Structure 1
C-alpha cells in the first residue's frame, strides 16, 4: 500500500502540500483541487483510524 518505505505522516504532508499548490494554481473550486482534497481526507481518515485504534487497546 505504501511504497518505498514512505510513512503515513509523510504521505499526509506530501498530499497536504500538493493540495495547497493546486489551490494556489487553480482556485478552490477546480476539479483538481476537489480531487486532491478527497485524497487528503482519506489519508486523514486512515491516520485517525490507526491513532484511535491504538488508544483503545488496553495496556496489558
Structure 2
C-alpha cells in the first residue's frame, strides 16, 4: 500500500499546484498546461495500478 499512498499524495500535491498556477496565470498559460499534463500522467499511473490489482487472481 505504500506505493499507492505515495502516488495519492503526489496526485494531491500536483492537483493543488495546478489549482494555484491556474489562479495565478489563467487557464491558457503554458505553465498551467504543463502542470495539467503532469497531473494527467499521474492519474494514468493511478488507473494502471488500480486496474492491475483488479485483474490479479485471488487464489
TM-score scaled to structure 1, two decimals? 0.89
Q: How many residues of Structure 1 are paired with residues of Structure 2 in the alignment?
A: 55
Query: Segments of 4+ in structure 1 off by > 3 A?
Result: none
Structure 1 unaligned regions, length at least 5 = 1-5
How large is the Cα RMSD of the aligned pairs? 1.0
TM-score (norm 2): 0.90
> Larger RCO: Structure 1 or Structure 2 (Cα < 8 Å, ≥ 6 residues apart)?
2
Q: Which has the higher helix share?
A: 2
Q: Unaligned regions of 5+ residues in structure 2, if any? A: none
